[in-house]
Amino acid sequence: MKALRLERIMAILKSRGYATVEELAKELGVSEVTIRRDLDELRRQGLADRKRGGAILRSIHYEMPFFIKLEKNKEEKIRIAKKAIELLSNGWTIFAMGGTTVYYAIQELNGSSIQDLTIITNSITTAWAVINLKKEYDLVHTGGTVRRGSFECIGEQVVDVIDHIKFDAVIMGADGVDPVEGVTVSNYSESLIARKIANRSKLVLLLADHEKLGAVRSYKALDVRDVDILITDSEASKKMLEDISNFGVRVYTV
C-alpha cells in the first residue's frame, strides 16, 4: 500500500540520510517508476528533497503527514470513530481536535441521529470535514498559526477562544498513550492546547488505535487519569487496557 511504502521510505531516509531510487525499489520490491512517484509525493509534503538518482531527508525530525496517516489502520480508525459519535448527544458543544481518527469521527456524523451540535476546532482538516458534511452544524474555528504536517493551529489566538468556552466533550487523538507516561504528542504547543481543552471539558474522549497504546512521544498532554473514555480497536493489548482502566478510564474496544 502507498501509505506503508511512504512510511518505509521515510524510515530508510531517516536512518541513512540518502538513498537511490534503485536501492529503494530493490528493498521495497516495487518498480523504480513507483519509487520516483513516491519520492515526488514526499517532496510535495516537504519531507524529502530529490537529488540526482535518489532523495535525501529534508529534516531529521520526522512527523508523518496527515494525509499519509489517514490511510494507516483506516478500518480500525473508522470503527473507533463510529463509537465516539455514539457517545455524543444532541445540543452539545464539543471541541474536535485534529488527527485522522477525529477526521473520520466527524464524517460519521452523517449517519448519526445527532442533528444539533456546535463544533469548535483548531484543526484545518477537522473544519474541512465538518464543512463537507451533508448535515449542517454550527462550526467555530479558532484561527491561529497552522502547523505543517498536522494542520492544527497553535498560538495565543487558539488559547483565547478556548478560555471563553466550556465544552460538553472534547474528541481528541494522540501520538502515544501509556499508563505511566500518559497521553503524549509530537509538538509542545499542541500538548499545551490539548491540556487546556481537556480542563474545560466535562467529558474527555480519547481515540487511539492499538499502535498508539504503549507508544511515548516527546510532549505530555495529559495524565491517563485525565481521560474519561478511551476508544481503541480489538487488537489492543488486554494488559495495557487493564492498566489504563485502573486509572478510572472507561475503555471501549471495537
Q: State pLDDT tens for residues 44-99.
A: 776 788 877 888 876 544 566 788 788 889 999 999 999 999 999 999 999 999 99
CA separation for the pair 228, 224 (Å, rounded): 9
pLDDT at 60: 44
Return the C-alpha cell found at 249.
478510564
Residues, the chain: 254
In whole angstroms, what is the distance from residue 114 CA to residue 133 CA? 12
235 pLDDT higher than 80: yes
Average pLDDT over residues 241-252: 97
Q: What is the pLDDT of residue 59?
A: 52
Instruction: Name the E strands within 21-92.
Output: 48-51, 54-57
3-class SS at 117? coil
pLDDT for the residue 138: 98
Cell of residue 120, nine digits: 469548535
pLDDT digits (tens, 9 = 90+) for 89-147: 999 999 999 999 999 999 999 999 999 999 999 999 999 999 999 999 999 999 999 99
* Chain centre distance of CA 159: 20
- Reply yes or no on whether the pLDDT at 231 is more than 90: yes
Average pLDDT over residues 204-232: 94
* Interatomic CA distance for residues 73 and 78, integer angstroms: 9
Distance CA 184, CA 217 (A): 5
Of 176, 187, 95, the closest CA to residue 141 belongs to 95
Are the C-beta atoms of residues 184 and 220 closer than 8 Å to each other?
yes
Name which CATH class applies to 2-62. mainly alpha
SS3 breakdown of the chain: % helix, strand, coil, rounded to 5?
40, 25, 35
Beta-bridge partner residues of 146? 153
What's the mean pLDDT when you consider all of the chain?
A: 92
For residue 176, list its beta bridge partners: 184
Pairing outcome for strands 145-146 and 153-154: antiparallel
Which CATH architecture fits 69-253? Answer: 3-Layer(aba) Sandwich (3.40)
CB 247 within 8 A of CB 230: no
Query: What's the confidence (pLDDT) of residue 229?
Result: 98
Strand partners, 178: 182
| Domain boundaries of the chain, sorted by first residue | 2-62, 69-253
E strand or H helix that includes residue 177? strand 176-178
Query: What would the mean pLDDT of 12-18 be, rounded to a whole number?
Result: 78
Can you list the positions of beta strands (E) in 10-74? 18-20, 48-51, 54-57
Q: Which three cell numbers stand for residue 2?
A: 502507498
Helix boundaries (H) for 111-222: 124-131, 156-163, 188-199
